[in-house]
């Protein structure tokens, strides 16, 4: 059954809602149960991002699986706030929100949930980060180190320098 809350019906009385007959009578889709379907036809790294975001959202919800339909703008903002309080970086927060949004949008596309646009007001871009690297002089000091030939430390130093 396509889950449409009572409130959304009253908020949009003129809106016709389509029910997907293939899913009629089936239980409400939760993030945990829907992740397998959402992960089809995407890359392995995308699946890993989806799973990481869903686990994080689960920690936010005290390990409770949540229905796609219960994801609201308020809950997404509260999740974003919680992540900030946990000390999570903005780009990581953005990655989690993009993953959850992608899963949610697939639910909308497959008529598992009515689109309430819960991710509309959260930042999902990337912030520019300051790149830090070793200065040329620091690399030269590493290269000039007198390490025993054939030692593991000399090998590790060579590999490190080779990466630049």
Measure Cα distances from 78 to 19, 97, 122, 150, 160 in Å. 30, 12, 10, 55, 42
Q: Is the pTM of this model over 0.85?
A: no
- pLDDT exceeds cutoff 70 at 77: yes
Strand partners, 30: 67
- pLDDT exceeds cutoff 80 at 15: no
- Chain position carrying tokens 């030269």: 140
- Chain position carrying tokens 């130093």: 157
* pLDDT at site 122: 93
Measure Cα distances from 126 to 5, 21, 32, 82, 90 in Å. 33, 39, 26, 19, 8
Domains of the chain as residue ranges with CATH = 6-109 (1.10.150.130), 133-164 (no CATH)
Token pair listed for 42: 């995407």
Which tops the pLDDT comparison, 119 or 12? 119
* pLDDT at site 119: 96
Which tops the pLDDT comparison, 15 or 105? 105
């Amino acid at each position: 059954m396509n889950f449409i809350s009572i409130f959304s019906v009253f908020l949009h009385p003129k809106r016709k809602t389509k029910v997907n007959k293939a899913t009629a009578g089936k239980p409400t889709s939760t993030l945990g149960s829907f992740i397998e379907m959402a992960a089809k036809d995407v890359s392995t790294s995308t699946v890993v991002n989806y799973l990481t975001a869903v686990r994080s959202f689960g920690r936010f919800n005290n390990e409770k699986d949540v229905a796609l339909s219960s994801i609201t703008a308020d809950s997404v903002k509260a999740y974003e706030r919680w992540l900030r309080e946990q000390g999570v970086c903005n780009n990581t927060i953005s990655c989690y929100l993009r993953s959850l949004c992608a899963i949610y949008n697939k639910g909308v596309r497959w008529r598992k949930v009515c689109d309430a646009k819960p991710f509309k007001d959260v930042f999902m871009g990337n912030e520019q980060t300051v790149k830090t690297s070793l200065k040329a002089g620091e690399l030269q000091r590493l290269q000039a180190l007198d390490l025993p030939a054939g030692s593991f430390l000399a090998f590790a130093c060579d590999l490190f320098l080779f990466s630049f």
